[in-house]
Amino acid sequence: MQKLTLKWLVVSFAVSTAAFAQTQADIDRWNTDWATFQMLSAIPLELRGMVQASQDLPITIDEKQKKTFDIYSNVYNALGVHPFLVKITPIRVTKDRFDFLSYEDIPLPDGTIFNSVSAAQMRFDRAHNVYEVDTFTAPGVITRQRITFTKTGPHSTLVNEHLVFETTPEFIGLATQGGVIAHSIVQQVVKTKIEAGLLRPIRFPRWVPGYSHHNCEGEADD
């Protein structure tokens, strides 16, 4: 047990420093924004002047459950597909958690582009076919996601994204609409690529840049 713990400490340290080549400013920004997120999360919505909206996005993918999980949960598969996402900067990784900054260029109704930087954290529970993602965009847009994978046949998986958006009343409509549209687009493209065999099943954390392993291919077990 001590050896295993040490292994993950070494991986976490190595991947969160030179391998990612992120700056100290990136780390400081994530830490500061995440502390703000945690502070806000501890306060009831009405006391922080926010409202909440939620949406479920179910989709059936013709592939085995674990293989679908490993491909779908790889956030890098959204690059080039998500209409707003332009960059991901890893901050730190453990065996079941991934902290990163996501950069998005979001078009606003007035025709301008909002250059968004969000602190994000993914938490993986592969054994129970679920992962969660929380994101915080300063000064106050929060997205909480819970993605589940249900086996519906030998080569069929029902994926459901439960999305919760929290922000001030004047921005909740825009945040919800933009988030749902973006996630729906990614869902459809990833589904098509999975079913066409165009994406490799790689288990977290092996798909994180800088993670070194002699065999990065995930197993398509159920």
* 79 within a domain of the structure (yes/no): yes
Tens digit of each residue's pLDDT (9 = 90 or more) over 80-89: 999 889 999 9
Number of domains in the chain: 1
Q: Give the domain extent around 119.
A: 2-195
Average pLDDT over the chain, rounded to whole? 87
Q: Is the pLDDT of residue 167 over 90?
A: yes
Q: What is the pLDDT of residue 3?
A: 38
Whichever domain contains 30, its CATH number is 3.30.530.20
Q: What is the pLDDT of residue 133?
A: 98
Q: Is the pLDDT of residue 20 over 60?
A: no
Q: What percent of the chain has pLDDT over 70?
A: 86
Per the model's pLDDT, the better-predicted residue between 11 and 128 turns out to be 128
Tens digit of each residue's pLDDT (9 = 90 or more) over 196-209: 999 999 999 999 98
Q: Please provide the distance, in angstroms rounded to a whole number, between the alpha carbons at the two ends of the chain.
A: 27
Nearest to 91 by CA among 35, 27, 38, 14: 27
* 152 within a domain of the structure (yes/no): yes
* 211 within a domain of the structure (yes/no): no
Cβ distance 132 to 146 under 8 Å? yes
Q: Counting beta carbons within 10 angstroms of the beta carbon of residue 68, is it exposed (0 to 12), middle (13 to 18) or buried (19 or more)?
A: buried
* 42 within a domain of the structure (yes/no): yes
* 78 within a domain of the structure (yes/no): yes
* 214 within a domain of the structure (yes/no): no
